[in-house]
Amino acid sequence: MREALIANNACSVEKAGKARLPEEQWHGSQFESPMMAEGHFTEQEVYNLAKRAYTEGSASFDIAPEKCALLVIDMQDEFVRPHWTPFWVPEATRQVPRIKALIEHCRRRGIPVIHTAFAKTHHYFDRPAAGAFMPNRYPELDLRESSFFEEARIWHELAPLPDEIVIHKPSYGAFYDTPLDTILRNLGKDTVVICGTLTNFCCGTTARQAYERGYKVVFGSDVTATDDPDMQEWELKVLRKGFARVLSADEIMRLL
């Protein structure tokens, strides 16, 4: 019945604005046809579409190296220095050599490298007011939060060069209450490459903010890290489906 309906309306589907995907994306799928009529999507079909986009999707934009800037998100002592704080991200420490290679690759090719870090800015009055209530502050540890995230020291192996910009940010996203957007536009950049930590907080939020400001976003799958490794792939899936082109460091360097 459904096959007959699609066949009878094949000539009018495109004119009527019906959903269509390229033939190659349907190879081996459970769909009978690359053309499905509006109002006739089954639950399984929409589930398969979403799952494919989460796991296999790839943003279709090209990457022009001369339009790119590398954002190194929060690779500072509080997250990278082993055993120092409860906010340490062990995987970020392990990724330092790979992130360093990406930074040096961009420097050799004249791609701007911009670092971000949490710091004591504006006496903390520039923070989102609800932040103090969040469980990621680990209130059960009774820490004096101001003992960390004051000086914004970038991990020594990734130290910025004198002419590289370091943005001190008050919240997760690098665009929130910072001059990053203005800096990128003055540099003539329309694409940001994101590495650093944490994947599903500061890196992911920055990717979403960049996307919403019209930037193309390239997100490093193996040069971003989070505090719970189980969360890494879940965040990559969301970014892959709707916000960024997700690539490995080697893939990024081949394109830059």
Q: Do the strands 68-73 and 113-118 form a parallel or antiparallel pair, or are they unpaired?
A: parallel
Q: How many Cα neighbours within 13 Å face the side chain of 58? A: 9
∠252-254-244 over CA atoms, to 5°? 25
pLDDT tens track for 210-245: 999 999 999 999 999 999 999 999 999 999 999 999
pLDDT score, position 34: 52
In sequence order, what DSSP letters do the residues of 12-37 get, joined into one string? HHTTTT-EE--GGGGTT-S-S-SEE-
- Name which residue leads in pLDDT, 208 or 127: 208
pLDDT tens track for 63-110: 999 999 999 999 999 999 999 999 999 999 999 999 999 999 999 999
Q: What are the structural domains of the chain? A: 2-56 (no CATH), 65-255 (3.40.50.850)
Asked whether residue 55 carries a pLDDT value surpassing 60, the answer given is yes
Asked whether residue 41 carries a pLDDT value surpassing 70, the answer given is yes
pLDDT tens track for 5-33: 444 444 433 333 334 444 444 444 444 44
pLDDT tens track for 102-140: 999 999 999 999 999 998 899 889 999 998 899 988 888
